[in-house]
Structure 1
């Protein structure tokens, strides 16, 4: 049996350290001397060394206790610590880029940028952006549709942002958090229930159309006829319970031209992501341009495949 001082000497720690872990139940004593002093067996040395190794990794004392008591496996605790450390590193990288942004900007811009960046947590949360889209979307959409739209529309902050990306995200956050021009969210005509639209059908179809258009955009193809445009128009037609005809395409082109736009949101989103993947807003514009070109007086008109389909329907 060793005294507390002897155990501390063997382990290369202070008596205070041994007493700390003993008082918290991590290092149980084997017995007590006749004078009431703690006594430890040789197994306490191995346990104390394990405790110190775990604490060297900055594992909290409660986590160390759960590992020693086998309530949690070491793998689970380490995985949790890695997640927490990843979040801390993301916050540090975000703060570093934000400070670099403030350092590099002109003195007259510093106060405004500090206000923008200071309103965003580090690492930044996308909760305000998600709330914006849930408020912008039409009411009574199925949860799966809302979730799909939010996933597509809300950009994830980069893990290692540049100062420009920090500024773009801060501006995006301010845009969705501020009052809307005109007091509304700028919903398009398809969101108006009195018009007889079925928004759930529309957004299901638009997701597919945007994906098809993105493929064309990444290939640097100009807006034009094809599967993406047909899918885009079909989504609107089906949501109205009508057929895709040349007349419908002309009406749709005019309606979309009159719809409110949130181009600023999509421009900032593209700056935040900094990738070649087109945003839904950019895909929508590409499809609108394709539709406008087709219904123009000197445009190509409805594709032959679509005309054949319409003839069969008639």
Structure 2
């Protein structure tokens, strides 16, 4: 002991950057007790006190309480055990904070009332089973009575949001907005209308399942990219190709009835909420976004209307 260099409390403060008051508090708490005292009664610390103080400071900055730190310093429990337990506790706190942040962000964006904030909070804390029931109710309202159609189970799966166990704040925000769409009666009605139009286009046995929106989206992609005027003569080949493809898929002739039929499908699909649902679904499920069809549907609807005969007077 006599050969060791001992530090005064002031020297420890200079070496560690901690205040004398803080070091004295840690000493009185039993975390870093003095090695001995000088003849004048001042506290003295051995060289290891610097390392102990730095460990105490680090653990305090990481959020550990003094009682736990004392057990680590006194070797009553290993540091890795404490670190693992504290990391797990922090993970739980982080998930809670993400939920709170998402609820408050959406509430602020909507200018929500107290009742709406309460409802957002409730939707953010639904169990996996409760979320599944809400989504099943929404999709059931769209596809009921169409379950015998072979493609609909796949469509239902592709439209099902599945919030992960440890979602990001963005995924929670997307889920909360998605809930609003799922519970919107008008949106439900529009999606149900689309499903029934889709089923009506498939009443010819043996033909591939048609999808008017997909036909349009794929058929006008290059025209959209080129900035082609949908009402100009340059769009004629594009319109003819899309109409021909739709006629082949539905087993119907290209006539005024077919064009009116296709236009009705596009009018029903040309709803920004549909694209928004798909974008939110992609965020929640971790899929790539950007699959909106509204620009293509709008372009072709204008092109088709420009080529429809004027009503007789």
When normalised by structure 2's length, the TM-score is 0.46
- Bigger radius of gyration: 2
When normalised by structure 1's length, the TM-score is 0.46
